[in-house]
Amino acid sequence: MALLLALVWPGLLVSGAQAAETRTVLVMGDSLSAAYGLSPQQGWVALLAEQLAASRPQLKVANASVSGETTAGGASRIGAELARHTPDVVVIELGANDGLRGLGLEQTKANLERMVIAAKESGARVLLLGMRIPPNYGPQYTQGFERNYRELAETHAVALLPFFLEPIATDRDAFQADNLHPVAAAQPRLRDHVWPALEPLLD
């Protein structure tokens, strides 16, 4: 039967094989990954999807980022998103809203840990995008906030990009009027910053 199908519709079996090889990168993030204040096509996640479509067409990107999302929200949603997308790689970009609200460091870490464990148990590789926050809450909080990401990466042996916004953090022109969300022109820099940490997970 397979031979007959190949003779009658020669592209059918090739297309089916290609579909079977399709792999997914799932991004779980907040407004920084949801292209807040921009069109969705301008965000770094969409730019990553374009890059992969051109260079690695077997890979697709699913953006499950939500503006205003906290780690608690991400932890509550990740099970459904893993079931929906069955990703091979999960990129977790969350925590900034926890920090801006001064939420407890232990709870933020526990939420991120739930996400990392869930993603690993699903068989996906994980890239954790670390964040830093202004020193408003004092050095103990800001240092502990940053340390959370390092400790989680070490404990669970997952990839870590220490500071997602590093390429633009000191460039005021890279941010919108709220001084929180990157402008469209900064999005390629964020994509390019993520790429060296993400690329090894795609093979």
Residues with Cβ within 8 Å of 170's Cβ and at least 6 positions away in sequence, in order, are none
The 10s digit of each residue's pLDDT in 94-143 is 999 999 999 999 999 999 999 999 999 999 999 999 999 988 889 999 99
Q: 31-66 in b/e burial notation, b at 16+ Cβ within 10 A?
A: bbbbbbbbeeebbbbbbbbebbeeeeeebbbbbbbb
Is 31 an annotated catalytic residue? yes
CA separation for the pair 57, 33 (Å, rounded): 22
Q: How far apart are the first and last CA of the chain?
A: 33
Residue with tokens 């699903």: 122
Of 30, 31, 65, 85, the active-site residue reads 31
Of 33, 122, 181, 193, the active-site residue reads 181
CA separation for the pair 136, 138 (Å, rounded): 6
pLDDT above 70 coverage of the chain, percent: 90
Q: What is the sign of the dihedral through the CA atoms of 87, 44, 30 and 116?
A: positive
User: What is the per-residue pLDDT for 168?
Assistant: 98
pTM to 2 decimals? 0.90
Is 178 an annotated catalytic residue? yes
Is 193 an annotated catalytic residue? no
Question: From residue 82, how far is each of 62, 75, 200 by CA, in Å?
Answer: 11, 11, 21
Taking residues 188-202, report their average pLDDT.
98
Taking residues 55-82, report their average pLDDT.
98
pLDDT at 57 over 70: yes
